[in-house]
Structures are given as C-alpha cells and as structure tokens.
Amino acid sequence: MGKEIGLSLVYRDMWQSSGKYMPRVDQLVRVAEPIIDMGCFKRVETNGGGFEQINLLYGENPNKAVRAWTQPFNDVGIQTHMLERGLNGLRMYPVPRDVRKLMFALKKKQGTDIARSFDGLNDIKNLKLSIDYAKEGGMIAQTCLCITHSELHTVDYYLKMAEELIGMGAEEICIKDMAGIGRPASMGKLVAGIKAINKDIPVTYHGHAGPGFSVTSSLEAARNGADFIDVAMEPLSYGTAHADLITVHEMLKDAGFSLPDINMKAYMQVRSLTQEFIDDFLGYYISPKNRMMNALLIGPGLPGGMMGSLMADLENNLKSLNKYKEKNNQPQITQDDLLIKLFDEVQEIWPKMGYPPLVTPYSQYVKNAALVNVMQMEKGKERWSLLDDNTWDMLLGKSGNVPGEVAEELKKLAAEQGREFFTGDPQDLQPDALDEFRGKMKENGWDTGEDDEELFEYAMHPQQYEAYKSGKAKADFEADIAKRKAPEVAETPIAPVAAAPAAVAQPKDMDITVNGQVYKVSVSYGESTTSAKEEMKEATPQPQVHLNGSAKSITAPLEGKIYLTKEAGEKPLKIGDMVKKGDIVCYIEAMKVTNAVKADQEGTVVDVLVAEGDDVFDDDVLFKLN
C-alpha cells in the first residue's frame, strides 16, 4: 500500500474564488451531511477570510452560520479549517491585538480546528501572534508560504521563511499557491525542502487552477512528501477556483498513493445542491468567464480568490469609463480591452511597489492601483494620481515590509504628500479596541453574544455589523438581487428597499445658472412627491446657509459604496460645515479597499447628496459647496 495522503475540500474558497457571495447557513447545513457521506475528506475548509463579512453583507448572522456549519464535521471527526490574514485577521486592514486574540479562542469554541494563517507580505513577524494565539486558544497553528513568482521569490526564499516559521512554533505549513503560478518542479522542491527541515511537520498544498499548473503541482507536492492536497469540485472547480476532486483523486491513486474512495452517490448530491445554490441567487454574482482556464494569468500573477470578484467589479468599472468616454465623444472599449490593459499595468507597477506577494489584501492593492491608473490614464490623467490610503500604508511599511524596494517615483510622491516610511512593528499602530466596542454595544442595547462572539464581530467588521444590525444590509442586498434577477425592469440602479422612491420623483431643489452664476431655488408641487430618503432629510432640521451666488461640487473620483465616516468618533460632514482643500469629506469602499475622498476646493457645505451606504459612480456629485 502506498503512502496515505489526505484531501481537503475548500468549500468556502470555492465560492470565494468564483464570485461575491457564499451560501446561506440553511444551505450550508443541507450540504454538510452529503459532503461527509462522500467519505473521501479528512478536512473541510469551513470559514475564515471573507466568509463572515459576506454573511453580514446579505443580512445573516455569521456566528450562527459558523457554529451550525462546523458542527456536523466536528461530530464525525473531520477536521475543519479557517483562513485568517495574520495582522489583518478576517478583514482587509490591521486588527488590534485583543481582537486577534479573541478570534482564535472564539473560533475554536465555534467548532474550527485549524487556523490557516498567512501574511500577505510574507513578513513573518506579523504571524507570531497568530501562532501564539491559535495555540493558546486550542487550535492547530498552520502558517502559509504565499507563493508568487519573481526574481525575489525563489525556492530558497520560501525555505528560509518556512524554517523561521517552524522555529516560531508553527505546527503545520501550507503552500498557498493562491494564483496557481507556482511551477510544478519548484513546488516539489519546496515540499522536499520543508520535510528536510522537519520530516514530521504536516504540509498542505493549496493551488488555484487558473493558469493550469495546479494539477501537476499537486502531484509533485505529493511525491515529495505533502500530507494534504486541497481540492474543489463541480460545479465550481477549475477556472479561478481549484483543481477538481475527481481529477486529483484519480491521479494520486494512479501514482500509488493510498486514499479513500469517493461515494459517487453522495458526490452527485453535493454537486446538485451546489448547483441549486447557484441557481437560487449565488450565480448572479459569478461571471461565466470564471469557469475558464486562462494562461494569461501567469504574467500578472493575479490570484484566483481575487479574480472571482474582479470580473464582477469590472462591469461597473467599464460602465463608468464608457460613460466618461461617451460624454467626451471618445470610442468605447470592451471588457476584454479593459482586462488586457489591467494585466499590462499590473506587470508595469508590481516591481515598482516592491513585489508584494499577490494575495489578499495586497493583490487587491496592486490590482486596484493598476486599475485606477488605467482608468485615470484613459481620462488623460497621470499614473498614481489616485492612490488609496490602504495601498500607501503597504508601501510605507505600516503593514509590514514589502520584499523588494519601493520605486523612487513612489518615494518622491510620498515625500510630496508628507507621508513618512514606518520601520517599527505594525501591530503597535493598532491600540486595543474591545473595551471601546463593548461600550458602544452597551449604548446600543446590543448583547455581546455567546463567548463574546457578537462583540468580536462588531470589532472585526464595524461598518458591516452596524448595517447588519440596522437591517440596511439585508435591504440593500434584496434590492440588488431583485435588480439582477429582473434586469429588464430598470437599466439604472435600483435604490435600496428602505429608500424606495415615490411613483414620480420630482426635485425639491434646483440649481439655476444665470449669467454664469449658480443659484439654489426651492420648487413646490401640489402634493408630496419626495422619496423616503428626502423625507428623512426634511424631518431633521437643516441649518440655513446664505448663498453668495456660486456653487461648487465635490464629485466621486471612482465608483463604489459611500461611507460618511470610517473611525469611531468621526463625525459625518453636514450642511453648514466648513471644508478646506485636502480635507477628507467621506470614504468610498471600492474593490475591497476604502478610499478617502478629499476636497479639491474649499467652501461651506450647502448640500449633502449622498447617504451612508449609497452606491455612486465616477463623477457623481457628493457635496455642494458655497
């Protein structure tokens, strides 16, 4: 009998890499039993990464989802694992120590056995607390080598990293080939090298399928001593997801490895249920192109987990760009045109940004910078003319050290903007926060939950949690899915259910231009025709602002979702406030990062045209100034 090897079903990552959302808790519970009945899995990936944030976005309690989803696997001894982002925890930006520590203890109590921790910069000092806190909380501390391909990212580079992580107390190593660009021979050498460091440490190979290497890489990893191989299954395998279970299973059996047979009746049941979930609502957020293999990804090295959502994001980016081109009498472009421009720009700027590994969140930062550069340059503006604060934090060292050297042009731009490079421990920039959030929950009359799980959720995802608690997240999601299911009903975005317009929306105020001067006038109609949002605005006494005859606008620099504030204690801009050039007036969440919108002129706010959570497009007017 050949060496025994274990398979792990990355059911969460299958969805993450295919589209935007994941199944509801009732759907997950239904599919758990047939996954168990398949009889071929030693492990199942159940949560982590974007899982909980996505639950919040469509109005579901993520803690109940994790407990209900992991329980069936716990009951039969199948190990469950979660993905966490080290310094960034379960989100896209750094997390305080006390929140990180609570996470590991809580997730173990909720039923998760293994913490798969990675640092998006491969900066191992950011993983020390993950290792320590996972072990303190009773979890298995598995750490990742984030695979990318460059002159810096060699087999020796990764072996040195693995040796240091094992020395820090890591109990397992995962080769996280998130873009599937790890060359098979190199992946085999890497596994063999890790086993030479410590022959007893379990090694997992996790490879995305997109460029086409991952099946062969799985075999090379297995032949060189890997203990576990991550797989996906139909109807979500391959493309931006992972190699298919049946392919990998048959390949390993033929190579002489020992592993359990697949119960094909149960397999077909899981396949059928997964397709049912796609047909229900999840498929509306999955691009058909995500099922395709694409060797073009070898060049830019963008990861599968990001490509799944990228294709959906590009719809809005393309619409915004073509709207601009139409307005300026320029020829429109196709989505393929935009995609190739994006790939070319990634390859141009990635070395200049210090070769950060292309994994969440830094793959998003590189991709976002490239995409915004493309959008701006298509409009005749300069490269780097709009760079979000999250990306600056990465470049400046506030998230850890990038592997390479930041280009001189970016160092010069940082100096011009008064930004300084940071050389300390990024964790020290994040003060403990649980007491603050506990106080806010008490003020709101919210329970902190079993094992403080609701407190954790609020501290980890404050904006999304508030939208979930208010019901706004669910209303927005239902409005969006209704629009996607019936696109012929309306070509323009449908407003959230909570802010549905009246039958005939007519303006209450107008800007009238006379001899080059802009005047605001009020318009009265025989009966009320205001929208719910306008009624709420009118219900609150608004300060009166004297107009001097001119009006200026602050417009959206890109499309996304509006947040009027970002940090606790920050107050939203309101009518009557004074704004100076360079002041932050609001934030736009776009492509998984938060962009600070800064005033490009000064004045007094005379109108606020957006509300928390509104979707806006490039050049939409956000505020009017006098």
**Can you read off the two tokens belonging to residue 208?**
């995305």
- Does residue 591 carry a pLDDT above 80? no
Q: What is the mean pLDDT of the chain?
A: 87
Instruction: Report which of residues 81 and 546 the model is more confident about.
Output: 81
Tell me how far CA of residue 140 lies from CA of 10, 245, 473, 591, in angstroms: 17, 25, 34, 32
pLDDT for position 598: 84
- Does residue 148 carry a pLDDT above 80? yes
Nearest CA to 143 out of 159, 108, 119 is that of: 119
**Can you read off the two tokens belonging to residue 454?**
């609701």
Which residue's entry shows tokens 């009320």?
A: 528
Torsion of CA 130, 136, 142, 146, to 10 degrees: 0
| Domain edges within the chain | 6-288, 295-427, 434-499, 509-625
Which residue's entry shows tokens 């007491």?
A: 435
Phi (first) and psi of residue 143, to 5 degrees: -120, 155
**Percent of residues, the chain, with pLDDT higher than 90:** 65
pLDDT for position 380: 86
- Does residue 279 carry a pLDDT above 60? yes
Side chain identity, residue 481: I
What is the CATH topology of the domain spanning 6-288? Answer: TIM Barrel (3.20.20)
pLDDT for position 534: 42
pLDDT for position 550: 54
- Pairing mode, strands 560-563 and 584-590: antiparallel
Side chain identity, residue 464: Q
Phi (first) and psi of residue 135, to 5 degrees: -65, -40
pLDDT digits (tens, 9 = 90+) for 417-446: 999 999 999 999 999 999 999 999 999 999
Rg (CA), the chain: 25
pLDDT digits (tens, 9 = 90+) for 265-277: 999 999 999 999 9
pLDDT digits (tens, 9 = 90+) for 506-561: 444 444 443 344 444 444 433 333 333 444 444 444 444 444 445 688 988 888 88
Edge-to-edge strand ranges of the sheet holding 584-590:
593-598, 584-590, 560-563, 615-616
pLDDT for position 304: 59
pLDDT for position 387: 86
- 493 falls in which pLDDT band (50, 70, 90)? very low
pLDDT digits (tens, 9 = 90+) for 330-389: 999 998 898 889 889 988 999 999 999 888 788 888 888 998 899 889 888 889 988 888
pLDDT for position 283: 94
Residues 626 and 604 sit within 8 Å (Cβ to Cβ): yes
Cα–Cα dist 598/23, whole Å: 37
Tell me, yes or no, if the two domains 6-288 and 509-625 fold the same way: no
- Does residue 252 carry a pLDDT above 70? yes
DSSP-derived secondary structure letter, 240: T
Residues 43 and 80 sit within 8 Å (Cβ to Cβ): yes
**Percent of residues, the chain, with pLDDT higher than 70:** 87
pLDDT for position 568: 64
Instruction: Report which of residues 292 and 549 the model is more confident about.
Output: 292
- Does residue 312 carry a pLDDT above 80? no
Tell me how far CA of residue 295 lies from CA of 161, 209, 212, 455, in angstroms: 28, 10, 7, 44
pLDDT for position 618: 79
The three-point CA angle 418-423-426 to 5° equals: 100
Nearest CA to 298 out of 210, 238, 403, 184 is that of: 210
320 dihedral zone (left: phi>0; alpha: psi -120 to 50; beta)? alpha
CATH architecture, domain 509-625: Beta Barrel (2.40)
- 247 falls in which pLDDT band (50, 70, 90)? very high
- Does residue 496 carry a pLDDT above 70? no
Instruction: Report which of residues 22 and 368 the model is more confident about.
Output: 22
Residues 143 and 130 sit within 8 Å (Cβ to Cβ): yes
- Does residue 308 carry a pLDDT above 60? no
Over residues 606-625, the mean pLDDT reads 90
pLDDT for position 542: 45
**Per-residue DSSP letters for 335-362?**
HHHHHHHHHHHHHHHTGGGT---S-TTH
- Does residue 108 carry a pLDDT above 70? yes
